[in-house]
A and B are shown apart, each in its own frame.
Chain A
Amino acid sequence: MIVMSSAPVGIKSVMHEILHSKSGVAGVVILALILLTSLTAVVFPDNIVERWNDPQAWLDKPRLAAPEWTTFFTGENPSRTIIVKIQDFKRDVQRIEQLNVTKIELRARVVYDYDTPPSELNIMINLVSEARSLLSVEWIRPDGSTVELLREVAEPGTKAVFAYIDRTVASNVNAYLQKLGVSQSLPIGVVLFSSEKSLASGVPKLIKSHDVKPSRPYELVVVATSESKGFDVEAQLNLLGVVYGLCGTDNLRRDIFIGIVWGAPIALAFGLVAAFVVTLIQAIFGAISGYYGSKIDEIIQRITDVYLVLPFLSLLITIQFIYKTTIWTLLIAVIALSLFGGVTKSVRSMALQVREEPYIEAAKSYGASKRRILFLYILPRLLPYTFANITVSVPAYVFLEASLSILGLGDPALPTWGKLISEAFSGGAAYYGYWWWIIIPSTFIVLVSTAFALLWYSLDKVLNPRLREE
């Protein structure tokens, strides 16, 4: 099975072997890159886990936007997200004494040079007032033409206008189209971002800021008038893009990149701890079984036989289904269900060989205790094999978490990689072709698996010299 004389002993020599094979170096490099990526998690706010599950926190991101770098391949320049914040609006406060009213005009200017209209145009308005006020919202294109989006008596408080799906806006835009003599109904985004001339001619053409000389921005004008004391108004304009960030967004507008960056340490921690603890426990039982022999051996081997056929996943599913635990409690369940296994068997057979070696005999002769021989003389010899097994089982545990997530049994709060993929799947990403939502988290999970598989491969060649390439 294993030619012990040529196997390395100790962590140092294991590392040496890994770093002296191409596949080992490749594995280490991939892992280092992923760890570096996950270090950027520090940049994001620390309450990300709460934010991740709060739909309100992501309103300034587009829904289901592809990654920005895709434009490099399509050659187009689709719209990016532009946010005009409260403080970026130009304010003009007018006091009309005769009527005893205050009129506040807010003006946002947006230089827009993309090939497509934004995926959404959302306006948040906050009216600070004791009474109702007259509110009007207008959209001015670079060619100087104006579309009236809203003119109404508004209640005080916050108001979110999702222009593309807002009913009042829709009826105002339709009225505007009729005035132009356009009978067909057009998407609101197309109407707002096409020149008036092209709309009237029946072939809408998008107008950019630089299409007119001198170039002019799009403008949003919010005018509110009220007689209330201390009247004030604030507004924010969200022009949401068609593409977003490095990894795109999901159906809840969440930045997938943040999910991946935060999922990396969770995935690695879960995988590494599970692999490390499970392999070590199994190896210790295997060594005990092989070294002590007789009755202990028989008992451990029979228990292992039972454990090997235990329906691991369906037991885990039952546990998660009934107790709905976090990922860390799940980890304990995983360990409890894998106390004995394949490693127990193979370590036992190796321990049987090592037991007969002269240095064990020598240790016995100068009176080393059984426990000392087991933990200090036998187990270290089996370390390289154990290490190889840890590397190959890390990905298995990373995928285990993903499997449970697919069944809706993942951690309820944490953004794990498995949850990203399972949400993509249940969100119909494969059916509607939101490839980035699936492919990008998948790529990371496969990269981690490949990295560990490469490490294992470089160790396996050392441990099984007979299989070495000529």
Chain B
Amino acid sequence: MLSKSYLAKRASLLAITLIVATYLTVVIANGGGLVDQILANQIRFDVTSTLVRDPSFNRLSEAEREKLLEQRIELAIHAKGLDQPFIVRSFIYLVDALTLRLGQALVIKSNTGSRAVIDIIVERLPATVALFTTATIIYSILGILVGLVMARKPGGFFDRFMTMLAVITGVIPPWFFAIIFLLIFAFYIRLFPFGGFVSVPSPTDPLLYAIDVMFHMVLPLITWIIASFPFWAYITRNIVIQTIGEDFVTMAKAKGLSQSAVLRRYVLRPSLPPIITNVALALIASWQGAIITEVVFGWPGIGNLLNLAILSTDAPVVIGAAVVYAYLLVATVLILDIIYTVLDPRLKVG
């Protein structure tokens, strides 16, 4: 089937992208010798923690222990190949990063007290994904619906208004709206909290807790939706207007089908795949905007973690977050590709 080969091609391309992105991160980061340092720390940590668990090690004198420790670390470094030139090491790092062995954080700890970067990031991942996915689903549906309304009367007041809005919001990132909305809705109207994930102290009842989280999510969601849906609407409108001009739509109209049936079956269906391709690019930008939006709202996701890591100059976390972002981006595009193959009938027939 064509869709399978198409997906396989896209997936391998995305895999290459992931490798390139991670490799770039590793090379950039090691310009300051940072990755070397992170890995040396990791090895020291591993060796020390295995040695202290050994009773015979504890019976040795201080000097002997120190000597043994250094010896073991040196051996471990050699075993891992870290005494080789950078070009070789960089590939060792690449494999480490791709398998998400991201080392130990310098300052930041996870809530469970772990210092492993991957633990810290995984802990923050649900918050980011929850906010991002909810926002994306809401504004994409809203965008497509509004786009259809715009396409009904091109050049009308609503169409022109939304187009202008799309043009302007298209260049203004969501975090910018976030700051303004905080000022309006949190400071002046005092309708929503200033940010964060739950109130302090958080409610103990799980239901109340969930409601509290959703309440904190409202303003980030509104911000994101307002910043993003006009652009989707504009893309939808343009593609739909082009599709309406096609012969098969005229033909469907001539058959005497109702306007909504024509729109749904003959216009929207063939319009969706190009809409999705166009929007995939916007979505990548959106992921990156997520970093700053989280910072502004104090939303405890990866973006906020990244900010915290930058403030506390915690290099392993910064690099780890960059790697995880590469994964998230690639995963998003892959999901879109899958949706694309499902929606595009041309890719289905084998």
Given contacts A396-B171, A430-B179, A435-B183, contact A308 B284 (CB under 8 A): yes
For the complex, is A302 an interface residue (Cβ under 8 Å from B)? Answer: yes
Query: Are B188 and A406 touching (Cβ within 8 A)?
Result: no
Query: Are B183 and A433 touching (Cβ within 8 A)?
Result: yes
Enumerate chain B residues within 8 angstroms of A406, measured Cβ to Cβ.
Answer: 175, 292, 295-296
CB within 8 Å of A: which B1-48 residues = 13-14, 16-17, 20-21, 24-25, 28-29, 31-32, 34
Given contacts A306-B13, A399-B176, A469-B160, contact A317 B310 (CB under 8 A): yes
B281 closest partner in A (C-beta): A342
For the complex, is B167 an interface residue (Cβ under 8 Å from A)? Answer: yes
Enumerate chain B residues within 8 angstroms of A29, measured Cβ to Cβ.
Answer: none
Given contacts A314-B322, A399-B171, A467-B241, contact A442 B176 (CB under 8 A): yes
Given contacts A311-B21, A311-B326, contact A425 B296 (CB under 8 A): yes
Query: Are A315 and B315 touching (Cβ within 8 A)?
Result: no
Query: Are B173 and A310 touching (Cβ within 8 A)?
Result: no
Closest Cβ–Cβ distance, residue A252 to chain B (whole Å): 19
Query: In the complex, what distance in Å separates the CA atom of A466 from the CA atom of B155?
Result: 12
Partner of B288 from the list A308, A311, A439, A449 (CB cut-off 8 Å) is A311
For the complex, is A183 an interface residue (Cβ under 8 Å from B)? Answer: no
Query: Are B194 and A430 touching (Cβ within 8 A)?
Result: yes
For the complex, is A305 an interface residue (Cβ under 8 Å from B)? Answer: yes
Contact-residue bracket for chain A: 35 or more
B31 closest partner in A (C-beta): A322
CB within 8 Å of A: which B273-331 residues = 281, 284, 287-289, 291-292, 295-296, 306-307, 310-311, 315, 318-319, 321-322, 325-326, 329-330
**A residues bordering B, Cβ < 8 Å?**
302, 305-306, 308-315, 317-319, 321-323, 342, 392, 395-396, 399, 402-403, 406-409, 421, 425, 429-433, 435, 438-439, 442, 445-446, 449-450, 452-454, 456-457, 464, 466-467, 469-470
Q: List 28 A-B contacts (CB under 8 A).
A: A309-B284, A309-B333, A311-B329, A314-B288, A314-B325, A315-B24, A317-B310, A321-B310, A321-B318, A392-B170, A403-B173, A403-B291, A406-B295, A408-B310, A421-B179, A430-B182, A430-B194, A432-B187, A433-B187, A438-B179, A438-B183, A442-B179, A445-B176, A446-B172, A446-B176, A452-B171, A456-B167, A467-B238
**B residues bordering A, Cβ < 8 Å?**
13-14, 16-17, 20-21, 24-25, 28-29, 31-32, 34, 154-155, 160, 163-164, 167-168, 170-173, 175-176, 179-180, 182-183, 186-188, 194, 238, 241-242, 245, 281, 284, 287-289, 291-292, 295-296, 306-307, 310-311, 315, 318-319, 321-322, 325-326, 329-330, 333
A-B contact sample (5 more), CB < 8 A, given A311-B21, A321-B310? A309-B330, A317-B310, A322-B28, A406-B292, A470-B155
